[in-house]
Amino acid sequence: DGGITQSPKYLFRKEGQNVTLSCEQNLNHDAMYWYRQDPGQGLRLIYYSQIVNDFQKGDIAEGYSVSREKKESFPLTVTSAQKNPTAFYLCASSRQGRTVDEQYFGPGTRLTVT
Amino acid sequence: LAKTTQPISMDSYEGQEVNITCSHNNIATNDYITWYQQFPSQGPRFIIQGYKTKVTNEVASLFIPADRKSSTLSLPRVSLSDTAVYYCLVGFDSNYQLIWGAGTKLIIKP
């Protein structure tokens, strides 16, 4: 089955701890994205990557970091510097980083920090 | 700065046609307009995409006027299962940031 997987579905952490969210795709897509979604709100772009070993900051990159060492993987680290990390995190990929390319989304990870 | 505007919410009834409009006054010449549907606690999924005029697929139609400053997603004969949030995506702004609409929450009543 081709698609995007995110793990885990639910994640709980204590304040002050870094946490890494996993995102893997087997669609052979060049571009990958991380979004944050707060309750009742829209999608906000955290980071995106159009190719391996390259990524760009989105609207709300502060307190987050990413890496893109492999085409199929784009992990997101939520650092202790992120003021309000509790949210629903969505990973997506597209064939290329153009708006004509459909984005395929993963099932999301719901992060709760207390 | 490029921006999109969508209605925050809409209500309709089963069997009706629903039209949701997205305004995007500063869309770039080479950008496409894409609509996504999102159910609670799930990732959005692609519905339809267009560049100009009209596009139709098995679930929706997309109408784009000649000036491309807006687009209208049309859902024919909606059912309860069409209750969801609908987002338009219209491209990158000058800072290479994706331009997503804020989403329209559509509630279908029996």
Give residue B68's pLDDT.
94
Among all chains, which residue has been given the structure tokens 């500063």?
B26
Contact B86, B73 (CB under 8 A): yes
Residues of B in contact with A88 (CB under 8 A): 41
At B104 the three-state DSSP class reads: strand
Residues of B in contact with A4 (CB under 8 A): 43
B15: left (phi over 0), alpha (psi -120 to 50) or beta: left
CB contacts < 8 A (A, B): 52
With a cut of 70, list the residues of chain B below it in pLDDT: 1-2, 94
pLDDT tens by residue, B32-54: 999 999 999 999 999 999 999 99
Average pLDDT, chain B: 93
Give residue B82's pLDDT.
97
Give residue A2's pLDDT.
65
CB neighbours (10 Å) of residue A24?
18
The widest CA-to-CA distance across chain B, in whole angstroms, is 44
Q: Kindly tell me if the per-residue pLDDT of A103 is higher than 80.
A: yes
Residues of A in contact with B42 (CB under 8 A): 107-108
Give residue B28's pLDDT.
86
Give residue B92's pLDDT.
75
Give residue A1's pLDDT.
56
Please give the Cα distance from B72 to A107 (Å, whole number).
27
Whether chain B has a CB inside 8 Å of the CB on A62: the answer is no
Give residue B2's pLDDT.
55
Give residue A29's pLDDT.
96
Q: Give the pLDDT band (50/70/90) at residue A31.
A: very high
pLDDT tens by residue, A48-102: 999 999 999 998 999 999 999 999 999 999 998 888 999 999 999 999 877 778 9
Give residue A60's pLDDT.
93
Give residue B39's pLDDT.
96
The widest CA-to-CA distance across chain A, in whole angstroms, is 40
